[in-house]
Each structure stands twice: as C-alpha cells, then as structure tokens.
C-alpha cells in the first residue's frame, strides 16, 4: 500500500521525488518510441490527421507545439542512436535531446563529419545527469556555428532567420524573432517614424508635456499601425478566396449598446438593413454581422421544448443553456478566427469602424440556408460557413478558416447543391481524407456537421461533433 505523502519523512520525500522524476523521464522516452512506431505503422485514415502530432493534440492534453516536438524527436532519434540511448536510459532530458538533435540534423556547413561526431559526443556528455546546463550546450553550438557556419557572417545569413508567433493560454500573442541585418534594418526603419514620443491631448485638449508610453509600448503600437496599413492596402495575396482581413463574430444584441454611443449609420450598411428587413428580424433576433469583410456571429438560444417547468427534459435544457451561457459557441462573446474569444467591449469598439454583413442564424447558431448558386461557394456563403464552423470542422483539427475550403457533402457532380446544408469547411488534408477514405460527414438535426469514423477507427461508427461544437455545451 502506498504511503500517504503527508506521512513521509523528509528523507523519504526527497528520495521518492527523485525516483518519480526518473520514472517520468523513462515514460517520456517510452512515449517517443511509441510515437515513432505510430508514425511508421498507423495509416493517416486511422489517425484522422496528416501525422501523429495532430492525433496527439486531439486525444491527449498535449499542446500542438509539445506534440510537434515529440514527433520531431521520434523521427530524428532513429538516425542518432547515441542521443536516443541517453534519452531511453533516462539520463538526458527531452529538451536537451531536442537541442542536440537540431544541431545534429543541421550542423554547420563547413564542419566535417568527424568534427560533427566529436561535437555531438561532447554535447551528450554535457547534457547527461543533474549537472547538465542548457547554457553550456547552447554556447558550444553557437561557437561551432560561428567557426564553421559558412562564408556569410551571422548578421548576413538569412538561413538563420526565424519568427515565432505563439498564442498564450490567456488569449494573447507572443512574438519572437531572429533576423539578418537587412531584414532588421527594414523593420527598424518602418518602426522609427511611428515610435517617436507623441504627447497626447489631455481632457482639456491641451498638449501633455511628454509621452507616458514606454519604448516597448511605442514599438508595439507602431507594429499594430503597420499591420493596419497593410490590411487596408489592395496589394495583398489571396487566401481562402479573399484578401486577408480582420474577421469578428458577435451577436447583434451584443452590439445593441452601440446605439447609445454612435449613429445607426455607423453600425449598419445597406446589406445589413436589407438582410434584417428580408428576415423580419428584431433587434434581439439572432443575426450575424461581418466587420469589414469581417463576420459577426449570433449566440444561439435554447429552443422551447414545450414541456412543463418541472420536467426532466426542461431541466436538461436548462443545464445545456447554462453550459452555453458559460462556454458558448464562440458567440456569447466576440470571437476572432485566429485568436479566439474577445470581450464585448472591444468587439463593439471594432464594430464602430467597419463594414457589417448580416447573416441570419437559426436557434442552433447555424446560418439559415442560402439559396443554391454556382458550383463554387460564394463569398457570402463562405462568411456564413465561417460563422458556423469557425475553421476546419473535422473533430480535433480546427485549422483557421483562412486555410479551409468548402466541401460538398453530396458531390456537385452527383446533384449535390451548393447550399449550407450540403457544405462544410475543411482544411486541405481533411478535404482529401473525406474524398479518399471511409470517413463520412453529414449535417445533423442541430444544423451542424457531424463526422462518422470508419470501422477501422471506431467499430461502432459513433458520430462525432465538429471541432467547433465539441465541449460541455453539447453534453
């Protein structure tokens, strides 16, 4: 019987912590080996994803970045058994293994093979045991890159350029970049005129004596201004059938407060007015609006099931309603396709200066069917699909809407219409998977996509909700 932690002596606490830590290292190594075997033996159809990383993210608590790192290790360690041996023995951390593996896979251009082997052996020794320090390993890699990295000095080597954009758990975006001198000069030149201290006006509209913003805040504001200018220009590539633009989904009733602070003309264009008139909707009815080609989506209400107030079905409906009040469908607050939830106040601020497109939604949060048009999805239909599916609808995927295509559930060639109840947003991989495997998709009674796995994945072939619908609100 395991002794309760509070009953352990100080010496036992220290000893068991060390043992558990070693076991975790061994389990990490075991998971990497399992993923390597999955990568080799399990088909994409059974995974439902292009590789093990997507499957890991959708079935475990791993983040996409952590899952990708594990897959990279699983693939890379096959070619470097000396690094793999240290990991499997539990004497080297996974992070240190990843660092050394990156060096081994992309060594300095002019470092001979014998030198690569000697350097890798030295790094493994430095990364082994409790005394291992990441700084020492990085120092060795930097030294070797500087001495053997090629003819171009580091400031001029564009092959070393990197730009990371990581979304945090609290909905912010953290950027990290490493650029060559010329790219860096371009960026600093673009930022320079926008980062000068600019005294703002106070409440009396008299100039302040200085700019209270820190240099870092001024650079951040300037970067945002550059993005605004780019998105406002016409010289942009096409993505998802449209030029890149900021999309915001929010319900009309959540924008109602705008009437207290802005003229009605500021929040409704002719298209919005026409759609509202044609659907005979009122201010509280579910309507989806689109900001500057951006979309604004409705929060669905729980349908009346006609049962008495004390019935079990009514209580279940209340429970589902409570879930939706808390979790929603990306509609009870503002929602951005890339970044996710946005507060109502900031959503209203965006909506004050945008173009709005109304999309009438039903009680389940699905756009009311648009008439059949051409073979391809129209711009208005695509906006409605984004409002419903948010991105790739395949369970566990959710790739951004900009990377998706409209898929005909019943093929156009077989008489399938280009209607909302015959369309679903899918990324390129899952679009091909639906065409070339036994995965199936249909529109359920809730007017949202449901996916049926092949028998090789689930012998019972239980339908699975779309990625945007998975969660407590459909329990």
Top mean-pLDDT range of 349-353, 354-358, 394-398: 394-398
Residue 299: CB atoms within 10 Å: 22
Evaluate whether 286 touches 251 at the Cβ level (below 8 Å): yes
- The rounded distance, in Å, linking the Cα atoms of 377 and 408 is 9
Q: Is the pLDDT of residue 313 over 50?
A: no
- The whole-number pLDDT of residue 2 equals 77
Beta bridge partner(s), residue 406: 425
Tokens of 389: 């599916």
pLDDT (tens digit, 9 = 90+) per residue, 395-437? 999 888 888 888 889 887 677 787 888 999 999 899 989 988 9
439 in Cβ contact with 452 (< 8 Å): yes
Q: Is residue 262's pLDDT more than 80?
A: no
Question: Which residue in 133, 136, 160, 132 sits closest to 146, CA to CA?
Answer: 160
298 φ/ψ angles, rounded to the nearest 5 degrees: -95, 150
Question: Considering only 90-99, 237-246, 251-260, which range has the smallest mean pLDDT?
Answer: 251-260
Assess contact for 80 and 119: CB atoms under 8 A: no
Q: How big is the chain, counted in residues? A: 475
Q: What is the pLDDT of residue 69?
A: 92
Of the pLDDT bands very low, low, confident and very high (cuts 50, 70, 90), residue 214 is confident
111: left (phi over 0), alpha (psi -120 to 50) or beta: beta
pLDDT tens figures, 83-105: 999 999 999 999 999 999 999 99
Burial readout 123-156 (b: 16 or more C-beta within 10 A, e: otherwise): bbebbeeeebeeeebeebbeebbeebbeeeeeee
pLDDT given at position 239: 59
pLDDT at residue 73, as a whole number: 96
Comparing C-alpha atoms, which of 396, 375, 389 is closest to residue 449? 389
Q: Bigger pLDDT: 107 or 212? A: 107
Q: How confident is the model at residue 263 (pLDDT cuts 50, 70, 90)?
A: very low
Among the residue ranges 34-43, 231-240, 290-299, the one predicted with the least confidence is: 290-299
Q: Give the chain's largest Cα–Cα span.
A: 81
SS3 per residue for 231-293:
HHCCCCCCECCECCCCCCECECHHHHHHHHCCCHHHCCCHHHHHHHHHHCCCCCCCEEECCCC
Residue 205 token pair: 């509209």
Asked whether residue 119 carries a pLDDT value surpassing 90, the answer given is yes
Average pLDDT, stretch 114-121? 93
d(CA 108, CA 120): 12
What mean pLDDT is predicted for residues 288-311? Answer: 40
Tell me how far CA of residue 229 lies from CA of 190, 245, 298, in angstroms: 12, 11, 29
Kindly tell me the burial class for residue 400, based on how many C-beta atoms sit within 10 Å of its own C-beta (0-12, 13-18, 19 or more).
middle
Measured CA to CA, the distance from residue 11 to residue 19 in angstroms comes to 12
35-89: pLDDT as tens digits: 999 999 999 989 999 999 999 999 998 988 899 999 999 999 999 999 999 999 9
pLDDT for 63 equals 87
Mean pLDDT of the chain: 76
Query: How many Å apart are CA 430 and CA 64, to the nearest integer?
Result: 17
Cα-atom radius of gyration of the chain, to the nearest Å?
27
Per-range mean pLDDT, top range of 126-140, 268-282, 357-371, 445-459: 445-459
């Amino acid at each position: 019987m395991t002794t309760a932690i509070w009953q352990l002596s100080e010496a036992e606490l220290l000893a068991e912590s060390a043992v558990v830590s070693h076991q975790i290292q061994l389990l990490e190594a075991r998971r990497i080996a399992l993923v390597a075997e999955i990568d080799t033996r399990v088909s994409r159809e059974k995974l439902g994803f292009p590789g093990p990383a997507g499957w890991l993210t959708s079935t475990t608590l791993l983040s996409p970045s952590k899952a990708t790192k594990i897959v990279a290790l699983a693939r890379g360690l096959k070619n470097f058994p000396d690094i793999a041996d240290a990991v499997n023995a539990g004497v080297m951390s996974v992070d240190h293994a990843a660092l050394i593996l990156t060096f081994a896979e992309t060594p300095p251009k002019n470092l001979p093979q014998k030198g690569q082997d000697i350097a890798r052996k030295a790094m493994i020794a430095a990364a082994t045991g409790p005394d291992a320090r990441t700084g020492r390993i990085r120092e060795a890699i930097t030294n070797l890159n500087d001495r053997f990295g090629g003819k171009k000095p580091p400031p001029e080597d564009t092959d070393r350029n990197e730009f990371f954009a990581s979304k945090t758990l609290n909905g912010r975006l953290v950027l990290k970049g490493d650029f060559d001198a010329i790219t860096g000069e371009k960026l600093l030149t673009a930022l320079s005129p926008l980062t000068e201290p600019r005294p703002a006006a106070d409440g009396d509209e008299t100039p302040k004596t200085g700019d209270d913003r820190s240099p870092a805040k001024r650079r951040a504001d300037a970067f945002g201004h550059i993005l605004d200018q780019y998105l406002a220009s016409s010289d942009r590539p096409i993505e998802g059938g449209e030029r890149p633009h900021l999309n915001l989904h929010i319900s009309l009733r959540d924008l109602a407060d705008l009437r207290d602070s802005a003229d009605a003309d500021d929040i409704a264009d002719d298209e919005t007015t026409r759609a509202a008139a044609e659907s005979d909707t009122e201010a509280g009815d579910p309507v989806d609006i689109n900001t500057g080609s951006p979309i604004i989506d409705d929060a669905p209400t729980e349908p009346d099931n006609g049962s008495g107030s004390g019935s079990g079905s009514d209580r279940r409906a209340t429970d589902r309603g409570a879930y939706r009040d808390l979790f929603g469908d990306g509609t009870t607050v503002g929602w951005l396709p890339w970044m996710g939830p946005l507060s109502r106040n900031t959503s209203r601020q965006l909506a004050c200066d945008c173009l709005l497109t109304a999309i009438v939604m039903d009680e389940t949060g699905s756009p009311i069917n648009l008439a059949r048009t051409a073979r391809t999805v129209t711009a208005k239909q695509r906006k409605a699909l984004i409002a419903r599916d948010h991105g790739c609808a395949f369970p566990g995927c959710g790739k951004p809407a900009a990377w998706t295509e409209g898929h005909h559930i019943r093929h156009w060639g077989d008489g399938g219409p280009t209607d909302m109840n015959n369309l679903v947003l899918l990324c390129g991989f899952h679009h091909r998977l639906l065409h070339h495997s036994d995965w199936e998709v249909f529109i359920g009674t809730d007017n949202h996509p449901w996916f049926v796995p092949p028998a090789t994945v689930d012998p019972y072939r239980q339908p699975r909700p779309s990625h945007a619908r998975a969660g407590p609100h459909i329990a």
